[in-house]
Amino acid sequence: MTGLPGIVITGVSGRMGQMLLQAVAESDAAHLVGAIERPGHDWVGQDVGTATGAAPLGVVVTDDPLEAFAKAQAVIDFTSPAATVEFAALAAQARAVHVIGTTGLTPEDLTKIDAAALHAVIVRAGNMSLGVNLLVGLTRKVAAALGEDFDIEVIEAHHRHKVDAPSGTALMLGQAAAEGRGVDLATASERGRDGITGAREPGHIGFAAIRGGDIVGEHDVLFAGPGERMILRHVATDRQIFARGALRAALWGQDKAPGHYSMADVLGLD
């Protein structure tokens, strides 16, 4: 037993789950108390260290989130929208901080997450890296400074396994651009052009998604005006940036009042 906050990692066998295991193991401010995988996964019932091919960690992977969350001060969750909505209610019951990295959440999912945030701290961000959260602030500022004769396009690239598009980060950047420009992203965005699309709508924010290989995550915000253009760019080369950001959010949330927070709150950027 330690006095450090106990962390549960959901989706522990996933790309981000394994990054989180490493981040928690390297931290001297938190320790691992639980690891969750979906029912039927072959890691369930195994020691999580052994399952990764390393030394045992003394934590057995379970498919019972309620039991695991009861022992936790924070749950770090990079899974799927359906799982995350279920975990939000259970983490709130356990009064554990819920850090949500899962993307592709629908407005209905977000309503359920808001309901859970009445009872517990939830930190949710489509991207947990410091650099991207700074880029969001810059995008808002540049969009506010430039008029409608600068077209804004968000271009993102990710690995071939990613299942949602545009990425959660692209949507964060689009939302920041919309706020800067004073428009509603829901009605002023253009996604996935193909065929005879007609000319670009002035003032709209465009999105384009590239998928391939093992690209960790790249985002450009292009401001294209008459005779000049600017590009704000973030390139992630290592998923550890997301895991370290998520762990920082879990620790930050320990003494906060219930609510639905963002990474900008954690990083003190707003």
x-marked contacts with ligand NAD along 164-183 as a string, rule CB under 6 A:
----x---------------
- Residue 256 annotated among the catalytic residues of the structure: no
Distance, in Å, from the CA atom of 24 to the CA atom of 233, rounded to the nearest integer, reads 29
Out of 37, 151, 156, 220, the only residue in the binding site for ligand NAD (CB under 6 A) is 37
Is 126 a binder of ligand NAD (CB under 6 A)? yes
Site for ligand NAD in 189-248 (CB under 6 A): 242
Out of 5, 6, 8, 11, the only residue in the binding site for ligand NAD (CB under 6 A) is 11
The residues facing 57 across adjacent strands are: none
Residues in the chain: 270
Q: Of 63, 128, 117, which is closest to residue 91 (Cα–Cα)?
A: 117
Residues in contact with 223: Cβ distance below 8 Å, sequence separation at least 6, in sequence order: 142, 143, 146, 150, 151, 152, 229, 230, 231, 232
The residues facing 70 across adjacent strands are: none
Is 119 a binder of ligand NAD (CB under 6 A)? no
Distance, in Å, from the CA atom of 64 to the CA atom of 50, rounded to the nearest integer, reads 19
Out of 4, 60, 70, 83, the only residue in the binding site for ligand NAD (CB under 6 A) is 83
3-class SS at 225? strand
Is 112 a binder of ligand NAD (CB under 6 A)? no
Out of 14, 203, 258, 259, the only residue in the binding site for ligand NAD (CB under 6 A) is 14
Active-site residue numbers? 158, 162
Kindly list the residues in this chain that would bind ligand NAD in the complex (CB under 6 A): 10-11, 13-17, 36-38, 41, 78-80, 83, 101-104, 125-128, 168, 242
